[in-house]
A and B are shown apart, each in its own frame.
Chain A
Amino acid sequence: MTLSHDTEAPASEVVLEAVGLTKHFPVRRNLRSLMSRTSSAVHAVDDVHLALRRGRVVALVGESGSGKSTVARLLAQLYPRTDGDIKLHGASTTVKGGRAFRQYATRVQMVFQDPFASLNPVHTIRYHLTRALRIHQHAGSDTAELERALHELLDRVALTPPERYLDKFPHELSGGQRQRVAIARALAANPEALLADEPVSMLDVSIRLGVLNLLRDLKERFNLAILYITHDIASARYFADETMVMYAGRMVEAGDSETVTQSPAHPYTRLLIDSAPDPDRIENMASDSTDRGNGEPPSLIHPPAGCRFHPRCPMAMPRCTTDLPTPIEIGDKPGHWAACWLYDEATVAAQPPGSAAATGAGGETAPQPATAAPSTGEAR
Chain B
Amino acid sequence: MTSIPTSSLEQNTPEGAAMPADTTKPPKPKRQRFRFLANGKAATGIVILGIYILFAIIGPWVAPYDPGARSNDLIQPPSAAHWFGTTHLGQDVFSQVLVGCRTVVMVGFLAGVVASILSVLIGVTAGYLGGATDDGLSALSNVFLVIPALPLIIIITSVLESANDLLVALVIGFTSWAWNARVLRAQTLSLRRRDYVEASRATGEKTWRIILFEILPNLTAVIASGFVGTVIFAVLSEITLAFIGVTSNTTWNWGTILFWAQGQQALAQGAWWWFVPAGLAIAFLGTALSLVNFAIDEFVSPRLRSAGKTKVKTASGRTVRMRVGFTPVLEAPAHADARPVPSINPHGATPVHRKETAR
Contacts and interface: CB of A to CB of B under 8 A. Distances in A.
Interface of A: 1-2, 4, 73, 76, 78, 97, 101-102, 105-106, 109-110, 112-114, 117-123, 131-132, 135-136, 155-156, 158, 160-161, 163-164, 167-169, 171-172, 182, 185-186, 188-189, 207, 210, 213-214, 217-218, 221
Contact of A131 (B2, B4, B31, B205): B205
A68 to B, nearest CB: 15
Contacts of A188: 203
A122 B203 contact: no
A105 B204 contact: yes
B134 interface: no
A119 B303 CA distance: 13
B7 A117 contact: no
Contacts of A118: 195-196, 198-199
Interface in B5-60: 5-10, 12, 21-22, 25-26, 29, 31
A135 to B, nearest CB: 4
Contacts of A164: 21-22, 26
Contacts of B29: 167-168
A207 B31 CA distance: 29
Contacts of A221: 7
A186 B303 CA distance: 24
Contacts of A105: 201-204
A113 B7 CA distance: 22
B39 to A, nearest CB: 19
A122 B9 contact: no
A171 B302 contact: yes
B71 interface: no
B223 to A, nearest CB: 13
A107 to B, nearest CB: 10
Interface centre among A118, A172, A189, by most chain B C-beta atoms within 10 angstroms, is A118
B214 interface: yes
Contacts, number: 122
Interface of B: 1-10, 12, 21-22, 25-26, 29, 31, 194-207, 213-214, 217-218, 220, 300-303
A1 B204 contact: no
A131 B22 contact: no
B196 A185 contact: no
Contacts of A112: 195, 198-199, 202
Given A101-B204, A120-B196, A221-B7, 10 more contacts: A1-B9, A78-B198, A78-B202, A117-B196, A122-B302, A131-B200, A132-B203, A158-B7, A161-B26, A189-B203
A155 B1 CA distance: 23
Given A122-B218, A168-B29, A217 B302 contact: no
Nearest to B2: A1
Contacts of B196: 117-121
A78 B201 CA distance: 8
Contacts of A113: 195
Given A118-B195, A171-B303, A213 B202 contact: no
B203 A169 contact: no
Given A1-B9, A106-B204, A120-B200, A169 B26 contact: no
B7 A156 contact: yes
Contacts of B206: 102
Contacts of A110: 199, 202
A135 B208 CA distance: 14
B302 A169 contact: yes
B202 A97 contact: no
